[in-house]
Structure 1
Amino acid sequence: MNDAMEVIQNGAVAIKDETIVAIGPRDILEARYTADTVVDCQDQYILPGLVNAHTHVPMTLLRGLADDLRLDVWLMGYIMPVEREFVSPEFCRLGTQLACAEMIRSGVTSFADMYYFEADIAKVVDEVGMRAMLCESVLKFPSPDAPTYEDSLAYTRQFIEDWRAHPRITPTVAPHAPYSNTRETLEKCTALAQEFDMPLMIHLSETKREVDDNVAEYGMRVMPWVEEVGVFSVPTIAAHCVHVEDQEIHILHKNNVSVAHCPSANLKLASGIAPVSHMLDIGVNVAIGTDGPASNNDLDMFEEMRLAALLAKVAPHNPTAVPAQQALAMATRNGAKALGLEGKAGILAEGLLADIIVVDANNTHNMPHFEHNPTAVYSQLVYACKSTDVRHTICHGQFLMRDRQLTTLDEAQIAQQAAAYASEVGTFLSQREENTLSKLIAVGIDVERAESFEVQTKAVLNDPSKIEDLLSHEDVEVIRAVHYRQYDTYFLFNDQDNSRVRYREDDGIDADGNVTSVRMRLTYTSGEKERSFHDSILLSHSRFIAPASHPLRFYEEFFKATDERHLQKERRRWHIHYQGTLYYVNLDRLIDPEVDQLFVEIKARTWSQTDAEHKADDIRQMMHILGVDTNHVVSEDYLDMQETL
């Protein structure tokens, strides 16, 4: 895998300690050297160890947790809630052991990780004997190992100081992504990497929505904005880079950014296909990663090499794009360069680190061989070989697997412990799926939540002019008047609470009928009212009120409700003081379903039985001013009225 892509038939490699001391024809090396250990590699390929340029190794314990979902539903609805509940140093140690076993078996000697508790991951990597760049995740909101980003940065600083001198481990920082960080956190992560002269890892332009959101918020696409923030002032591994335009690829090249291409995960999450052949043509260093085993769902670099070569041919309709030689280079020497190991690993050469794998060449799926073609060996390795063909794995001059037997890990014990974790996670998710409120709270980590009690009544208002009688009454002071067009989506659940979640879009309307503001909110209620006053005024309990931090489509896919219903109405709302107490008066016209009648609502927040009784009396008096008697009162919600309309 050197610059000349040289192939040595009947070759040999001599290793002393952690270093390759010679490489060449077998007969020459056998005449020059003797060794305590001689490995016969007849009918096998000897090549550099594979480099997994982007993954999240502890997520082996979340493999198969939630599949066939969109990225935002998968990440925000399942992965992050489970991580908040379960991710711990113990979780990360076990997940890393499982991942290392899988990677060693598939010929990976080096990897770049982005996760939490990286100091604990480092201890496992040290014990196992692999090589890794370990990147501590930093986010703008609380993470499993840090309540604030300041804590994440402090943890990362200590992690770097403790491990920076290790011969096989590079400790550094990983701001998760622009959308999960702020400009300030990105700048501070970059400054930390700069201070210690370390590389940095970040997710960039994985989805079209990420790019669109960045344009909406900052007025530019992801790459120019990240460059402006200064992230690319340090050596950077940019994971994914699926939705990048030509100008952005040139930005990556200009800043010597390495791209970690993750074809399986991008396909599985329908993120898209990265323009890898164009990146390579421009001169970007493109390496290959598996991404995490919760989104791939494996750590098989042979599969990733094959996919990388095949997918690159599709968009340009060019079967010569990313030939097998180049795909193997992406998985070896390009990966080594991305991890800061250029000139140290990634190729077989005298004086470099002995990170080497040996691969069976004569399994049925590898037959026959065509010796006339000097590039046939690359085709065999990329298009035909499987990870199970790896016979030996050597890292830093030490066997991590010999004759398919792992030397530094107990697979049976790891499997038993992983099964125990899977049982706990499964119980947690099963219980959450049975409780709508728990499921709602799980995706509300970045919003302020509240609950409220309200006293309220609703009635048909036959004479719209009566609303002025109330607003101009001597006991009434109008504080604010607004006009909304409201779009409500109700998710109904057939559970013991008869619970429902309302997703509401409020469009603020000006005097000319134009939309001037938009806000989205979530409200969770049960089907039953708490109690009633005067047979017409109800006390209701909204157990969850919060801004909706995701689009409607997210909640539709996440909740999978028993029933879903829609409601649209025009609402004029007045905030008033009645005898010094705050009330809300709504004048509503239902548009869908269309109803000729107008409805008036009067409501107020309450916090005690006494207060609720007092406000119920006030509401009764205001209804009298409106000329509304009990015959006009509607006890049903608008949603429930649909049955009779």
Structure 2
Amino acid sequence: VPMTLLRGLADDLRLDVWLLGYMMPVEREFVSPEFVRLGTLIGCAEFIRTGVTSFADMYYFEEDVAKATVEAGLRAVLGQTVLKFPAPDAPSYEDSLAAAREFIVGWKNHHLIVPAVSPHAPYTCTADILRDCAALAAEFDVPLHTHIAETAFEVENMRREQGMPVVPYIKKQNLFDAKVLAAHCVHLDYGEIITLKHNNAGVAHNPSSNMKLASGMAPVTQMLEEGLNVGIGTDGPSSNNDLDMFEEIRLAAFMAKTRENDPTALPAVEALLMATRMGADAMHIGHLTGSIEPNKRADLILVDLNTLHNSPRFRRDPNGIYAQLVYASKSTDVSDVMVNGRWVMRDHELLTVDLPALLAQAEVYARKIDRFLILREESVLAKLIAIGGATEAESYEVQAKVRIADPTPIIESLQKPEIEIVYTRHYHEFDTYFMFDDPTQGSVRHREDEFINPKGEVEYVRSRLTHVGPAREEEFPSKVLLSRSRFLAPSTQSLRFLREYFTPDDELSIEKDRLRWLVRYKGEEFYVNIDEVSKPQLGHYLEVKSRTWSRTDAQEKAALIAELITLLGADSAETVAQDYVEIVDHSRTD
């Protein structure tokens, strides 16, 4: 709900690019107790205007979300988010879990707030995190809110990495020891639906978000047929982009009919049930709200049906009123809202929030976030840092490449007594360079290293991102280059993600087999690589390189590299004063 302050920030993107490339970097920069309080109050105002009395939320600084929700007068199930990444309110998952425990203890048995714990999703949490969150929720008998099977990509990754679908995986981590509210559940098979039902899990169906992000259409009719409690949600104002529940109810009905190719699927009465009593049951608060009956809280809304789009009204069919509310009514028809016996809106007037003041504060945040993103989008390096993990340290290296016809004599020469071999490695490397028209931006290289064992088998794979500055800082005698690599980061995203995130002007791929030796020569360490470049077919190269940290050191190592090339028997006349990406790029334009 606090993400009302991020509404419209980044749209028409895939889920991973939207979440990892924009939402999380902005959240790391701006989310604070003040941010979530303001965002929650604005979200609550929108909820009230659209006839919502209760909602479920997972975010950061949930203590402040709770205080703002109570101030606005709404009911909520609020979950403190737990992730494997550092979060705006916690540097580690242990800190997030401790914050969740403190939040639960402080708010349990509150008359409006039901505290919960929220491991964000299986792909953003480790197995240990999921188990710890389940244990915490079970200890205090509070709900556990998470995201499940939102995209086909998530499900495919789970099957590939864990050998099972998402629901069996979370069951294995004991998540169903708790009262689970599972958001999305778009890509479930029949067995997973049955597992959710048997474990009394609730489902939050988010039709607008699932359509906007092209996540797919959830099997809602099958879930309902099996007796699952399925509620309707908005997902959030930054992925929807509003909190209009009347719109969501209507879309839920239409989406089910489209998915099943059946106009009788999910009739209006059932869609409205999902937004009221069944939704409350899905949130595990059905004993408190969801229907107007004795011993439940007085949560209700009044809807004005005397509007143009609600006219005329037919009374022949007793179920006609449900169709009227679901297919014709708008959120603007809500005139009055009561929560826990207290009016929070009367005759369209908000009674608990000062909306003009809140919106003015929101504009201040919007300008700050705009400035942050404008500066970031101007710098490839800043974008790399924003997706996390980059080491902010410039590194320089001196290197030289020599074309060779046959690597065998070079390999034999490495046994000379002047050369001490520290270790030997064998890799198969797949490099993708993202290149930009502005030369000051440098380039981004995605490298996937396959580590080959002595049997010729792939032992493991490592992926890394490198931001490469100008390829040539300086050229020393014998065509030894001083080059710069500014930032190095592990790569956890797909090439498709990186392509859509960095939006390069050009892209270049290089594939090579690399034999590497770390050697000592005259007291200095050097990497000696024998590369066979197969894509494109460039043949064999000897490459000698070493890290350096000063100009004097670089000059000395450049001279030693020239000596090593001669000692190894390579023809110095075949030295190439270019990196591979330059060689390939020039060959494309020749």
TM-score (ref. length: structure 1): 0.87
Deviates more, 1:543-552 or 1:601-610: 601-610
Aligned residue for 1:296, secondary structure, equals coil
Q: Distance in 2 between matches of 1:89 and 1:235?
A: 28
Shift of 1:518: 2.9
- What is the CA-CA distance between 1:178 and the residue it aligns to? 1.3
What SS does the aligned partner of 1:133 have? Answer: strand
Aligned partner of 2:117 in structure 1 is 173
Worse-matched range after superposition: 436-445 or 114-123? 436-445
Higher mean alpha-carbon deviation, 172-181 vs 103-112, is at 172-181
1:635 matched to 2:580: no
Alpha-carbon distance in structure 1 between the residues aligned to 2:91 and 2:567: 53
Higher RCO (Cα < 8 Å, 6 or more apart): 1
Amino acid at match of 2:560: D
SS in 2 for 1:431: helix
Alignment of 1:20-39 (within 5 A): none
**2:336 alignment counterpart:** 392
1:288 to 229, 232, 245: 232
Larger deviation, residues 150-159 vs 304-313 = 150-159
1:631 partner amino acid? A
2:427 is the counterpart of 1:497: no
Q: Deviations over 1:254-293 (max 9, x none)?
A: 0000001111111111111110100000011101110011
For the residues of structure 1 that align with 2:95 and 2:532, how far apart are their CA atoms?
51
Distance in 2, Cα, partners of 1:64 & 1:295: 8
Which residue is equivalent to 1:440? 384
Give the match for residue 474 of structure 1: 417
Distance 2:382 2:189 in 1: 41
* 2:525 maps to 1:582: yes
How far residue 511 of structure 1 moved from its aligned partner, in angstroms, is 6.9
What are the superposed Cα offsets for residues 47-77 of structure 1, whole Å, 9 maximum, x if unpaired?
A: xxxxxxxxxx000000011111111111000
Alpha carbons 1:450, 1:546 under 8 Å: kept:
no
Cα shift at 1:582: 2.6
Are the equivalent residues in 1 in contact too, given 2:107–2:113 (CA < 8 A)?
Answer: yes
Distance 1:232 1:644 in 2: 58
Corresponding residue of 1:14: none
Aligned to 2:322: 378
Distance in 2, matches of 1:341 and 1:526, equals 56
**2:369 corresponds to which of 419, 422, 425:** 425
Amino acid in structure 2 at the alignment position of 1:601 = E
Match of 2:470 in 1: 527
Q: CA deviation at 1:410?
A: 1.2
Secondary structure in 1 aligned to 2:515?
strand
The Cα of 1:183 is off from its aligned counterpart by 1.9
Matched residue count: 587
Q: CA separation in 2, counterparts of 1:581 and 1:353?
A: 77
Whole-angstrom CA distance in 2 between matches of 1:620 and 1:195: 67
Q: Following the alignment from structure 2 to structure 1, what is the Cα–Cα distance between the partners of residues 464 and 286?
A: 51
Contact 2:43 2:243 in 1 (8 A): yes
Segment drifting more, 392-401 vs 634-643: 634-643
Q: Which has the higher helix share?
A: 2
Q: Which residue of 1 aligns with 2:511?
A: 568
TM-superposed deviation, 1:432: 0.3
Q: Take 1:376 and 1:362, find their aligned partners in 2: how far apart are those partners?
A: 15
Aligned equivalent of 1:83, options 10, 27, 50: 27
Asked whether the 8 Å contact 2:80–2:116 carries over to 1, the reply is: yes
- How far 1:449 moved relative to its partner? 6.7
Superposition deviation, residue 644 in structure 1: 3.8
Q: Computing the radius of gyration over CA atoms, which structure comes out larger, 1 or 2?
A: 1
**Counterpart residue number, 2:489:** 546
Q: Secondary structure at the match of 1:642?
A: helix
CA shift, 1:400, in A, is: 1.2
In structure 2, stretches of 5+ residues that fail to align are: none
CA contact (8 A) 2:470 2:483 kept: no
1:204 aligns to what? 148
Larger mean Cα displacement after TM superposition, 148-157 or 324-333:
148-157
- Does the alignment pair 1:239 with 2:190? no
Q: Which runs of 5+ in 1 are unaligned?
A: 1-56
* 1:186 paired residue number: 130
Match of 1:220 in 2: 164
Does the 8 Å contact 1:449/1:546 carry over to 2? no
Do the aligned residues in 2 keep the contact of 1:453 with 1:539 (CA within 8 Å)?
yes
Is 2:536 the partner of 1:598?
A: no
Distance 1:598 1:157 in 2: 59
CA shift, 1:519, in A, is 2.5
Answer with 159-168 or 238-247: which moved more: 159-168
In the TM superposition, residue 237 of structure 1 has moved relative to its aligned partner by: 0.5
Correspondent of 2:12 among 50, 68, 74: 68
Q: Is the 8 A contact 2:144 2:178 kept in 1?
A: yes
Contact 1:531–1:540 (Cα < 8 Å) also in 2? yes
How far apart, in 2, do the equivalents of 1:220 and 1:593 lie? 38
Find the partner of 2:400 among 457, 465, 471. Answer: 457
- Contact kept, 8 Å, 1:290 with 1:299, in 2: the verdict is yes
3-state secondary structure, aligned to 1:295: coil
In the aligned structure 2, how far is the partner of 1:392 from the partner of 1:620?
83
Query: Which amino acid in structure 1 is aligned with residue 555 of structure 2?
Result: E
* Amino acid across the alignment from 2:98: A
**What amino acid maps onto 2:503 in structure 1?**
K
Contact 2:530 2:542 in 1 (8 A): yes
Deviation at 1:613, TM superposition (A): 3.0
Secondary structure, aligned partner of 2:520: strand
Q: Distance in 1 between matches of 2:357 and 2:158?
A: 45
Residues 1:498 and 1:259: Cα distance change in structure 2 (over 3 Å): closer
Counterparts of 1:583 and 1:467, CA distance in 2: 15
Query: Quick check: 2:439–2:470 contact (8 Å CA) kept in 1?
Result: no
Deviation of residue 512 (structure 1)?
7.4
1:202 counterpart letter in structure 2:
T
Tell me the distance in 1 between the aligned counterparts of 2:411 and 2:379. 44
Q: Is the 8 A contact 1:470 1:622 kept in 2?
A: no
Aligned to 1:413: 357
- Per-residue CA shift, 1:9-37, capped at 9, x if unaligned? xxxxxxxxxxxxxxxxxxxxxxxxxxxxx
More deviation in 508-517 or 299-308?
A: 508-517
Correspondent of 1:347 among 277, 287, 291: 291
Greater mean deviation of Cα atoms: 218-227 or 342-351: 342-351
Q: Any idea what the Cα deviations from partners look like across 1:390-439, whole Å, max 9, x if unmatched? A: 11111112221111111111111111111110110010000001111110
Indicate the larger mover: 461-470 or 490-499. Answer: 461-470
Query: Where in structure 2 are the equivalents of 1:235-274 lying within 5 Å?
Result: 235-274=179-218
Q: What is the SS of the residue equivalent to 1:388? A: helix
Query: Residue type of the partner of 1:477?
Result: E
List aligned pairs for 1:499-518, cutoff 5 A: 499-509=442-452, 515-518=458-461
Q: What secondary structure sits across from 1:382 in the alignment?
A: helix
Identity %: 51
Q: Which amino acid aligns with 2:339?
A: C
Q: If the length of structure 2 is used for normalisation, what is the TM-score?
A: 0.95
SS in 2 for 1:314: helix
Report if aligned partners of 2:548, 2:554 keep a CA contact under 8 Å in 1.
yes
Q: Distance in 2 between matches of 1:488 and 1:426?
A: 33
Deviations 1:141-188 (A, max 9, x none): 210001111211222222222222321111121111111112222222
**Residue pair 1:112, 1:133 contacting (<8 A) in 2 also:** yes
Are residues 1:146 and 2:81 paired?
A: no
Q: 1:527 is matched by which residue type in structure 2?
A: P
